[in-house]
């Protein structure tokens, strides 16, 4: 059955790859981003898929309520929600160099947005007795990275939010899981402060057992599996796709 799939943070990187992957199975894709995600939609439509772009700052309660009202009015029930939007904020910064704004930027984007989006889709999913949510966390939920302490904490919060909510919603037929990417070749891995060191890419991938960065498409495959019927016995699972960083 063809489904309505909402992918947040779908203007670029991993979110764009997830949206394209999901569209290949014939589902209607609803892209959401604070930036223009029409490039993602154009790519899907060029390949014969169905997609619509919505703009929203997912940190804002009222904007998220309005977003889901508009999506449901335009397309009906939401079957699958992929909470992928995220930011590393300003980095690298030692914790004593950060401000309260840094805290809110990172936590509101990475954690509050997941809460707000889940809160909007769950009533409909409960009513229908089915629904799937996949939250994108990070390997940095489980390990440290210099100058990124707030980001690491935010991804730890996404993991535990996923686990707690998954158990609560399982009785309503809703499956919620998290995927933790390792270093993936997107703009996110470039420090936002100071020069991007020439060996930045090497530093990121040197920690992987594969000695390379992951591709957004490699994460999209894992996410799409977690969203599929093949993952029917997975509830509150935290799926690593990190090129072996944590195992090393
Ligand atoms: N790239 C990596 O190495 C890596 C590793 C682990 C986890 N992740 C996670 O994967 C997800 C996708 O990251 P990416 O690497 O594709 O980076 P990206 O910067 O390409 O994508 C993030 C997207 O989120 C959107 N976004 C940011 N703030 C938003 C807001 N307030 N409202 C709506 N949209 C907003 C951005 O506009 C962007 O399109 C993030 O949650 C990130 O933390 C990435």
pLDDT at 195: 73
DSSP-based three-state secondary structure for 240: strand
| Pocket test residue of 13, 61, 205, 214 for ligand 1, highest count of atoms within 8 A of CB | 13
User: How many residues does this entry show for the chain?
Assistant: 248
**Is the separation of the CB atoms in 98 and 140 below 8 Å?**
no
| Pocket test residue of 20, 107, 188 for ligand 1, highest count of atoms within 8 A of CB | 188
**Is there a domain that residue 180 lies in?**
yes
Residue 71 DSSP symbol: H
pLDDT at 205: 87
Residue 78's domain comprises 4-241
Q: Catalytic residue numbers? A: 151
**Is there a domain that residue 141 lies in?**
yes
The secondary structure of 24-63 as a DSSP string is TTTPEEEEEESS--HHHHHHHHHTT-EEEEEE--TT-HHH
Cis, peptide link before residue 92, omega less than 30° from 0: yes
| Pocket test residue of 6, 8, 10, 15 for ligand 1, highest count of atoms within 8 A of CB | 15
pTM: predicted TM-score of the whole model, two decimal places: 0.98
228 CA distance to ligand 1 middle (Å): 22
**Is the separation of the CB atoms in 23 and 46 below 8 Å?**
no
127 CA distance to ligand 1 middle (Å): 30
**Is the separation of the CB atoms in 220 and 18 below 8 Å?**
yes
pLDDT at 226: 98
Residues in CB range of 118: below 8 A, 6 or more apart:
81, 83, 133, 165, 176
pLDDT at 28: 98
d(CA 134, CA 124): 17
CATH code where residue 113 lies? 3.40.50.720
Helices and strands (DSSP H and E) totals, the chain: 8, 7
181 CA distance to ligand 1 middle (Å): 11
195 CA distance to ligand 1 middle (Å): 21
pLDDT at 62: 98
d(CA 28, CA 124): 18
pLDDT at 197: 66
pLDDT at 198: 66
d(CA 107, CA 88): 10
Token pair recorded at residue 55: 């703009």
**Is there a domain that residue 149 lies in?**
yes
d(CA 77, CA 66): 15
**Is there a domain that residue 208 lies in?**
yes
**Is there a domain that residue 246 lies in?**
no
Total number of domains in the chain: 1
Q: Which atom of ligand 1 is nearest to the CA of 88?
A: 43
**Is there a domain that residue 247 lies in?**
no
pLDDT at 203: 73
d(CA 41, CA 148): 32
pLDDT at 194: 81
d(CA 197, CA 170): 45
d(CA 85, CA 130): 23
**Is there a domain that residue 64 lies in?**
yes
- The mean pLDDT values, 10 residues at a time, for the chain of 248 residues are 97 99 98 98 98 98 98 98 98 97 98 99 98 99 97 99 99 99 96 77 84 98 98 98 97
| Nearest protein Cα to ligand 1, atom 25 | 9
CA 168 to chain centre: 21
| Nearest protein Cα to ligand 1, atom 2 | 184
| Nearest protein Cα to ligand 1, atom 7 | 138
Could you tell me which residues are beta bridge partners of residue 8? 32
**Is there a domain that residue 106 lies in?**
yes
């Amino acid at each position: 059955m063809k489904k309505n799939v909402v992918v947040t943070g779908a203007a670029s990187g991993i979110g764009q790859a997830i949206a394209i992957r999901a569209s290949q199975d014939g589902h209607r894709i609803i892209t959401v981003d604070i930036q223009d995600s029409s490039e993602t939609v154009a790519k899907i439509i060029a390949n014969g898929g169905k997609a619509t772009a919505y703009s929203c700052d997912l940190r804002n309660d009222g904007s998220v309520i309005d977003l889901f009202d508009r999506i449901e009015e335009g397309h009906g029930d939401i079957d699958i929600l992929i909470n992928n939007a995220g930011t590393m904020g300003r980095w690298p910064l030692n914790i004593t160099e950060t401000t309260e704004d840094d805290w809110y930027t990172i936590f509101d984007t990475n954690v509050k947005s997941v809460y707000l989006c889940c809160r909007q889709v769950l009533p409909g999913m409960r009513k229908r007795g089915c629904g799937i949510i996949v939250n994108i966390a990070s390997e940095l939920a489980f390990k440290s990275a210099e100058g990124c302490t707030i980001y690491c904490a935010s991804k730890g919060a996404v993991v535990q939010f996923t686990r707690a909510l998954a158990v609560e919603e399982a009785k309503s037929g809703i499956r919620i899981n998290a995927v933790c990417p390792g270093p993936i070749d997107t703009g996110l891995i470039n420090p936002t402060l100071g020069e991007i060191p020439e060996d930045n890419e090497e530093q990121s991938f040197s920690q992987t057992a594969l000695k390379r960065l992951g591709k957004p498409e490699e994460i999209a495959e894992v996410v799409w599996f977690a969203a599929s019927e093949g993952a029917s016995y997975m509830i509150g699972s935290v799926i690593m796709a990190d090129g072996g960083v944590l195992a090393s």
